[in-house]
Structure 1
Amino acid sequence: MTTSPAGTPETVTRVAVTPAAAALLRQLVQQHGPLMFHQSGGCCDGSSPMCYPAGTFLTGSADLHLGDLDITDPDAPEASAQPPADGPRPDRVPVWISKEQYRVWGHTHLTIDVVPGRGAGFSVESPTGQRFLLRSRLFTPHERAALG
């Protein structure tokens, strides 16, 4: 936890999601259950973040967990149900990246967005007419220090 210039606590993350992408992810969770992203790099669709039903893409020692996207609808009434004690949460989407790709992008903050177009390969958004897109920006000196 760090402090913003205004003096309020803020958490520095390596990955975020736009409101539009979070809305699409909430729709996809209704169809497919909990989801996950993997960013592998490489040619063809390898440069697009791939979205899979949780557990259908196996991560391993060659992958790094960047963080979890919070896709909770800010306009929805607060849910009274407790999240599952074990297993994936439908309101959180873990994001994984290959360690090789992380060596290239480790100095950047990544944001998952959505744009019109055909989704990549086996990514679950393919039939929706939209595709996920990764946007990046350099970490600020403050963020780099907070991440260590």
Structure 2
Amino acid sequence: MTERLSLTEGAKELIRELVNKHGDLMFYQAGGCCEGTQPQCFEKGGYYPRYNDAMIGLAEGFEFWIDRDLFEYWQYSHFTLDVLQGFGPGGFSLETPLGKTFKVHYRLFTESELADLAPVIRSL
């Protein structure tokens, strides 16, 4: 089965650091401007997905949700969660005080990947 989400080693290391400080996590990527243009990391339960948002996979065991409208646009793309040094456009995400920001790299699935694509989970 083709997974919709993967992580760089840097993202994995940062997630482990955040888990040590905050406990269980969750990720959400909205489709709006500013903060919504990059994935946000919250303590689990710190953000509630909207009706019909899509959970595309797990980031080190933690749910990675995408805004329903953004998912419709990117549904044929693989997401790679990465981390960059520096501050993103805002400060809501847990990595901000560490001087880091999560970023997603996208690429289109190949035809063979699309034929065996992992299903998404939709929020109710």
Contact 2:50-2:67 within 8 A present in 1 as well: no
Give distance in 1, aligned partners of 2:35 and 2:50: 20
Percent identity, aligned pairs only? 39
What pairs with 1:12-23 in structure 2 (closer than 5 Å)? 12-23=2-13
The residue aligned with 1:138 is 108
Distance apart, 1:60 and its partner CA? 3.1
Give distance in 2, aligned partners of 1:61 and 1:41: 14
Q: Does 1:29 align with 2:19?
A: yes
User: Quick check: 56-65 or 133-142, which moved more?
Assistant: 56-65
Give distance in 1, aligned partners of 2:23 and 2:115: 36
How does the TM-score come out when normalised to structure 1?
0.75
Deviations 1:30-67 (A, max 9, x none): 00001110011121121110000001101231311111
Q: State the AA in 2 paired with 1:49.
A: P
Distance apart, 1:140 and its partner CA? 1.0
Deviations 1:67-109 (A, max 9, x none): 1123xxxxxxxxxxxxxxxxxxxxx111000110001111100
1:97 alignment partner, one of 55, 66, 85:
66
User: Quick check: 130-139 or 56-65, which moved more?
Assistant: 56-65
Partner secondary structure for residue 20 of structure 1 = helix
The residue aligned with 2:50 is 60
Larger Rg: 1
Deviations 1:96-142 (A, max 9, x none): 00110001111100011001111443100001111100100010111
Partner secondary structure for residue 92 of structure 2 = coil
Q: Does 1:124 align with 2:94?
A: yes
2:81 alignment partner, one of 81, 91, 112:
112
How does the TM-score come out when normalised to structure 2?
0.89
Larger RCO: 1 or 2 (CA < 8 Å, sep 6+) = 2
Give distance in 1, aligned partners of 2:91 and 2:109: 30
The residue aligned with 2:32 is 42
> What 5-or-longer segments of structure 1 have no aligned partner?
1-10, 71-91
Contact 2:2-2:113 within 8 A present in 1 as well: yes
Aligned residues: 117
